Amino acid sequence: MNHTNSHRAGFARKLLPIAAAAALLGAAASAHAADAVVLYTADGLENLYKDVLPAFEKKEGVKVNIVTAGSGEVVNRANVEKDSPKADVIVTLPPFIQTAQQSGLLQPYQSVNYKNVPTIAKATDGSWATFVNNYFSFAINPDVVKNEPKTFADLLHPDYSGKVAYSNPATAGDGMAVIILTTSLMGEDKAFDYLKKLEQSAKFHTKGTGYLDVLLSRNEIAVANGDLQMDLDDAANGGLSLKPIFLAADAGGHPTTFQLPYAIGLIKNGPNQAEGKKLVDYLMSTDVQSKVPDIFGIPGRTDVALTGKNGEAVKQAIQGVKLIPVDWNQVMAKKADWTARWKNEVIGSSGKQLEVVKPK
């Protein structure tokens, strides 16, 4: 089985090296359809998969081969393979799940377990549904950062020079979320002006978001982007020194964020679609959804409560934080322009690394 090691203090949720991922894909492609089902997933849910997938494998008599990468990367990979799909199920963040839907990568499937997912949190044709709800956040190393930043302007302070990193918006959902939140709060032009200023303090950008938590814990950076589920899980279960935070647009304002859920979908013409459907049903089942709070996620189903010690930690973390709505259709319309503008105006000719997987 290709489960990610849960002891991630040394390499928490890093992007799989391309060679390893390619080898895994080759193995998945050559596996007999009855023996394996392939899951492409955005990083962040490793501990949940480790907990719940063995029971599925035992019941169905199949292996679940997992390929983990940034949200955009898993969709890009599926798109490259569109004429000969290697995966059966995909889990990724918006707006990349919408990209997959619009690109014809997803097979509409109305799982019986989608019925308790709110209408706003799923595609009307069954192409995807919210699997684990979550919130965009930033993160700091609390052992290093003694004066916690409260506003976006605080990140421009000289104390953070060369100590900021965030994931590439072209390949990571959490990276695109940086643009979504800043443009929502500041307006597009002012947001890109801000990101240009922030770039002066940025050390580099990563291909996926997960490895940033390791970099924070190692004190190679002091501030990064992330998401609440991943950051709380890495701090509690990964042994990493980090703390999720939410920033306000202005001094005295409310810290603000938006929902950034993990969504699940069935790959069109996947090699093992029958088992793919069963895997979707299983991951959306009451049993699995009831374990989502254990990894600091919020169940995608409204009939499963956010309970337990870790559920309370999530509630406490977002207390007093203002949630703003996101029009994902507008984000889809803007995504290509925003990505190009970020590369041209923010990165420019700096030569800065944009797809760091491991620190040099």
pLDDT of residue 358: 64
Asked whether 1 and 57 are in contact (CB, 8 A), the reply is: yes
Q: What is the pTM of this model?
A: 0.82
pLDDT of residue 244: 96
Cα–Cα distance, 71 to 82 (Å, whole number): 17
Q: Provide the residue ranges of all domains of the chain, joining segments of one domain with +.
A: 18-134+260-312, 136-257+315-347
pLDDT of residue 10: 35
Helix pair 328-341, 173-186: axis angle to 10 deg: 100
Asked whether 15 and 241 are in contact (CB, 8 A), the reply is: no
Give me the CATH code for the 18-134+260-312 domain, please: 3.40.190.10
Same fold, 18-134+260-312 and 136-257+315-347: yes
Cα–Cα distance, 87 to 211 (Å, whole number): 24
Could you state, in chain order, the average pLDDT of each consecutive group of 10 residues for the chain (360 residues)? 35 38 44 73 94 97 94 94 97 94 97 96 96 96 92 95 94 91 97 97 89 91 94 90 95 94 97 97 98 96 96 95 92 94 94 75
Query: What Å distances lie between residue 229 and 156, 162, 165, 335, CA to CA?
Result: 26, 26, 19, 24
pLDDT of residue 71: 87
CATH class of 136-257+315-347: alpha beta
Greatest alpha-carbon pair distance for the chain in Å reads 59
